[in-house]
Amino acid sequence: MAPQVVECRARVEAVRSLTPEIVEVDLRLLEPAELSFEAGQWMSVPFGPKRVRAYSIASTPATGRGRISLCADVAPGGIGSRWFRELRPGQVVEFRGPTGGFVFNRADPRRPLFVAEEIGIVPIRSILWDLYQTGFGRPTTLIYWCRDPSWLAYDGEFRLLARRFPSFAYLPVVREPGPGWPGERGEAPDLVERTIPGVEGLIAYVAGGRDAINKVRAVLVAKGMERKAVKWEKFW
Ligand SMILES: Cc1cc2nc3c(=O)[nH]c(=O)nc-3n(C[C@H](O)[C@H](O)[C@H](O)COP(=O)(O)OP(=O)(O)OC[C@H]3O[C@@H](n4cnc5c(N)ncnc54)[C@H](O)[C@@H]3O)c2cc1C
C-alpha cells in the first residue's frame, strides 16, 4: 500500500553545505513523530495557497522514520531556494507528503540504469542507498552529470558504494572537467549513447531538467527501449 500523504511539522536538526550552492538539511519529525515513505518520493513545501515547491527525500527509510533529509540546489534563487538557504537548526518547518511514483519496484526483474542531471541526484541517491542497505545484487549503473566536478554532491559516497559493491557502476560525467579530472567529459545523453550497449532487460530512471530527460529517453528509445521503460522525475 502506498504511504499516506500527511501534513508534517519538523524541527531542523542540522544544515550542511555539500557544495557552494547545494544545501542538505536533517529534519526531526514532530508531527507525526514518524513518517512512512518509499525511497524516491518527495515532500511539498507550501508558500501560499497556490505556491508550493517540491523536495525529494534524500535519506532512506532505513535511516529512521523519525528523521528525513532534504537537499536543494539553491542557485535558482526563487522562493524555494531562499527558504532552504535561510533554514537554521532549531527552526520548526511545515510540509506535506510523501508523494510521487519515482520509486523502484523490486519485483521488477530488470536491471536499473539511473541517470541524474545535477540536483536530480537526490531521489536517486535515496533509491540507491535503499537498495544497497537492504541487499541488492543486480548490476546497476549510475550516470551522474554535472556542469563541473564542484557540483557533484554525494560523489564520495557513490565512489565508496562502487568500491564496496562491484555490481554497481558509477559514471560521473562533467561538461567542464578542469585539470586532473579522471572521469568522463561531455553530456549525459552522450555517455548513455557510448556506455550502454544494449537495452534488453534494462529499466531507466532519469531525474533532472526536461531537456536532459527527453534527450536521454530519445537515446534509449533509439537503442530499442520501450518508452514506458524510462521512468522520469522532472525537477524543472
Ligand atoms: C517532484 C520534484 C522534486 C524535486 N526535488 C528537488 C530536490 O530534491 N532538490 C531541489 O533542489 N529541487 C527539487 N525540485 C525543484 C524544486 O521544487 C524547485 O523548483 C527549485 O528549488 C527551484 O525553486 P525556486 O523557488 O528557488 O526557483 P523558481 O523561481 O521556481 O525557479 C527559477 C527558475 O529556475 C529553474 N530551475 C529550478 N530548479 C533548477 C535547477 N536545479 N537547475 C536549473 N534550473 C532550475 C525553474 O524552472 C525556473 O525557470 C523538485 C521538483 C519536483 C517537481
pLDDT (tens digit, 9 = 90+) per residue, 87-120? 999 999 999 999 999 999 999 999 999 999 999 9
For 77-128, give the DSSP string: -SHHHHHHHT--TT-EEEEEEEE------TT--SEEEEEEEGGGHHHHHHHH
**Mean pLDDT of the 198-216 span:** 98
Nearest CA to ligand 1 atom 5: 55
- Cell numbers 518547518: residue: 93
- As a whole-number percent, the residues of the chain with pLDDT over 70 amount to 100
233 C-beta closer than 6 A to ligand 1 = yes
pLDDT (tens digit, 9 = 90+) per residue, 42-93? 999 999 989 999 999 999 999 878 999 999 999 999 999 999 999 999 999 9
Q: What is the mean pLDDT of the chain?
A: 96
CA distance 156 to 137: 21
Which fold would CATH assign to domain 6-99?
Elongation Factor Tu (Ef-tu); domain 3 (2.40.30)
Buried b (16+ CB within 10 A) or exposed e, 116-135: bbbbbbbbbbbbbbbbbeee
Cα 152 to ligand 1 centre (Å): 17
**Mean pLDDT of the 8-36 span:** 97
Residue 194, SS3 per DSSP: helix
Cα 165 to ligand 1 centre (Å): 32
Topology alike, domains 6-99 and 111-234: no
Band (137; pLDDT cuts 50, 70, 90): confident
Beta bridge partners of 103: none
Which fold would CATH assign to domain 111-234?
Rossmann fold (3.40.50)
Q: Which of 62-66, 136-140, 199-203 has the lowest mean pLDDT?
A: 62-66
- pTM for this model (two decimals): 0.97
Please state the domain extents for the chain: 6-99, 111-234
